[in-house]
Amino acid sequence: MSTVKPTLTPCVPRQKRRDVVENDEFAAFARRIIRAHGRRVATGDVEALRDLVALSANLDDAIGDAVIGLRTFGYSWAEIGQRLGISRQAAQQRWGGQQ
């Protein structure tokens, strides 16, 4: 049995930015897939139209998850709004209720 007394862990500020080198390439890949899906629908695959439209809802959900994750990671509404070209108030109104 251990006799070590628990101590308080000092609050270490989190780093705000993680360097992930594949983000640009990953986003470009996702854009290519979505455009290819649109071209497939345009060639007469009417059954896939609903799936293509559903991607919009999936993208909105993913953006919400990303914003909430960034807030948890320590980013302010002002920083998020700046990256999106909107005010901090607009960002908070759009995604603040999802927290």
Q: Tell me the pLDDT of the chain (99 aa) as tens digits.
A: 555 555 544 444 556 666 666 788 899 999 999 999 999 999 999 999 999 999 999 999 999 999 999 999 999 999 999 999 999 999 999 999 876
Q: How far apart are CA 75 and CA 64, in angstroms?
A: 14
For 49, the domain range is 23-98
41 in a structural domain: yes
94 in a structural domain: yes
What is the total count of domains within the chain? 1
60 in a structural domain: yes
Angstrom distances, CA of residue 45 to CA of 54, 55, 91: 15, 16, 37
CA atoms within 13 A on the CB side of 5: 2
Please measure the distance between the N-terminal and C-terminal CA atoms of the chain and give it in whole angstroms: 41
75 in a structural domain: yes
Query: How high is the pLDDT of residue 76?
Result: 96
52 in a structural domain: yes
Q: What contacts 31, CB < 8 A, 6 or more positions away?
A: none
